[in-house]
Amino acid sequence: MSARSVRKSVVSVEQDEGVGARVRRSIGRREIPNLDPFLMLDEFKGDGKGGFPDHPHRGFETWMTAGRGIVHSEIPKKGITEQHGLQLWVNLAHKDKMIPPTYQDLKDKDIPRTKQNGVLVKVIAGESLGIKSSVFTRTPTMYLDFKLDKGAVLNQPIPTEWNAFIYTLSGKVCIGKEDSAVEYEPHHTVVLEQNGDHVRVENKNSEVVHFLLIAGQPLMEPIKKHGPFVMTTDEEIEQAIADYRNGRNGFEKALTWQSNYMKKQKKKM
């Protein structure tokens, strides 16, 4: 058993995004443009009034598989006064980029979880502490939400060939081998080396620490990104743009569909 060391860490600074939303970008920023198979991770906050109006996607998945094409809106329901969450973009293999879109709805109460020796985990995807998630990901992925009590130590297995990183949410998270571990404050993206079969995390302070551990099997394919489209060649990106503009190849309803939010905005004009 060998614990992975840290390759690099980057702190995420809050920025404007969408309409009235504030995000801290982790993966997907200049310092870490991607970490195969991961394309983007955003921590977002808002007052319940802002969000992301109607927009298209192709070529990747969140817990929504965009596949060949989807148009959707991400606006909080009426009455929500505060929102805080994270969104992860996972690349799809070239063979899967044009599959039909699908959606998996996973409510918090349905996420499997357990607590052992001061370590609480919610298994959103993958496996930890003997429990598994039912979420299906075409690209093999581990998405684990941890909270550690004072003095708790986590040794989480990670397949040796997978890329992995930790995103810190609250408290001071101590990451790395016992004799060389480093503490990280909230909103740090800590990218791990591929030099071990697990990651060691410890809480040396009185405050509960909260962080995500995300890992996945690299696809090792070219990545071409243009806004909401992620393909493998420039030609495929041009095709995605043309398909969206012309309402074809997965975007047949894009020319006429509008979310309720957009309909209400037009009535106000």
| Sheet of strand 173-175: strand arrangement | 153-157, 198-202, 173-175, 182-184
Q: Which residues of 75-97 are buried (b: 16+ CB within 10 A; e: fewer)?
A: bbeeeeeebeebebbbbbeeebb
pTM, two decimals, is 0.92
Q: Residue 22's pLDDT band (boundaries 50, 70, 90)?
A: confident
Pairwise pLDDT comparison (114 vs 84), residue with the higher score: 114
- Residue 226 pLDDT grade (very low, low, confident, very high; cuts 50, 70, 90): very high
Q: Is residue 263's pLDDT more than 80? A: no
Asked if residue 1 has pLDDT above 80, the reply is no
Q: Which domains does the chain have, with CATH numbers?
A: 6-216 (2.60.120.10)
Q: Which residues contact 95 (CB under 8 A, 6 or more apart)?
A: none
Over residues 170-198, the pLDDT tens digits come to: 999 999 998 899 999 999 999 999 999 99
Name the pLDDT band for 92 (thresholds 50, 70, 90).
very high
pLDDT score for 228: 94
Lowest-confidence pick of 45-49, 84-88, 217-221, 227-231: 45-49
**Confidence (pLDDT) at 81:** 67
Confidence of residue 48 (pLDDT cuts 50, 70, 90): low
Q: What is the pLDDT of residue 50?
A: 65
CB atoms within 10 A of CB 136: 12
Count Cβ atoms within 10 A of the Cβ of residue 161 and give its class: 0-12 exposed, 13-18 middle, 19 or more buried.
exposed
Residue 47 pLDDT exceeds 70: no
Per-residue pLDDT, averaged over 94-109, amounts to: 93
pLDDT for position 49: 65
The per-residue pLDDT for 73 is 83
Measured CA distances, 192 to 60, 111, 189 (Å): 23, 26, 10
